[in-house]
Amino acid sequence: MYKNKLRSLDIVFIFLGGLVLLFIISPLLGMFLSTTPIQLFETSKDPEVLKSIWLTLRVSFLATIFFAIGAIPLSYFLARSNFRLKKLINGIIDLPIVIPHSAAGIAILGFISRDSVLGKIASSVGLNFVGHPVGIALAMAFVSIPFLINAARDGFENVPVKLEKTALNLGASPVRVFFSISLPLAWKNILSGLVMMFARGLSEFGAVVIVAYHPMITPVMIYERFGSFGLKYARPISVLFILICLIFFILLRALTKEKEHRNA
């Protein structure tokens, strides 16, 4: 009787889960089937499209690496420390996820405009963040960095504190404990957070379009082509960008698996 009930429940769950998967797959499959190989080939030869895709990949990757320098230590501090304002800080970290991304773009624009402190400092050396890849990187990082911080924090929380204390008692410095014990054991979560932050940066539109319409990252170019020429011209760029991102993530996952095997 129990097994029959369980099987019935499994069937219901599989059916409901299948509907969700169908909802995710159907629009993407429809977009791919509506794009001919000739359209895809012609789009892949468009210098503006290729330049935009390369810009998007490069800026998102550099933003992820740069902000990881501060995000990973912050994650470790949050995982190992208890203080009065900890819940508030965790809430602040999640803010970029929940606020409208157009509002995030306006916030970033006010932060880097020529009238701001940061903007004035940049202007003194002849740099304007608005309409610049650095501004794009800041907008991407703002909406994506919570994914890295939260993933890294979870990873550090899973590292046994006893191992760290034992190493400290044996004479290891806190820095050595962090790099030889904490970081390697949390690396799987950190790497997952890095990939998620990079991916979220690639897909950002709302915040970036306010900070820099030009140079165009690919999400902005897709929107621009759709607004100017319609679905027929926007769809091949979308398909090409998805394919390139897919190849990129397969390579990243392969490198992740290779590292896991080496550490095993």
SS (HEC) of 27-40: HHHHHHHCCCHHHH
pLDDT in tens, 69-90: 999 999 999 999 998 899 999 9
Which residue type sits at 144? S
Q: Percent helix, strand, coil in the chain (nearest 5)?
A: 85, 0, 15
The Cα 165–Cα 180 span in angstroms is 13
Mean pLDDT of 27-32: 91
Interior/surface letters 130-157, b for 16+ CB within 10 angstroms, e for the rest: bebbbbbbbbbbbbbbbbbbbbbbbbbe
Task: Tell me which of 3.40.50.2300, 3.40.190.10, 1.10.3720.10, 3.40.50.720 is the CATH number of domain 38-263.
Answer: 1.10.3720.10
**What does the mean pLDDT of the chain come to?**
90
Q: Which of 9-18, 21-30, 99-108 has the lowest mean pLDDT?
A: 9-18
Sorted by sequence, the CB contacts under 8 Å of residue 78 that are 6+ apart come out as 86, 89, 90, 149, 153
DSSP state of 215: S
For residue range 178-195, what is the model confidence (pLDDT) as tens digits? 999 999 999 999 998 999
Rounded mean pLDDT of 172-179?
Answer: 92
| pLDDT of amino acid 10 | 82
Residues 100-119 have a mean pLDDT of 92
- Residue 245 confidence (pLDDT): 86
Q: Could you tell me which residue, 125 or 148, shows the higher pLDDT?
A: 148
Count of positions (residues) in the chain: 264
Single-letter residue type at 228? S
Q: What is the pLDDT of residues 231-260, one digit of tens each?
A: 888 999 999 999 988 888 887 777 666 555
pTM for this predicted structure:
0.88
Note the pLDDT of residue 261.
57
* Whether the predicted pLDDT of 1 surpasses 80: no
Torsion, Cα of 253, 254, 258, 259 (10° steps): -30
Token representation of residue 222: 């897709």
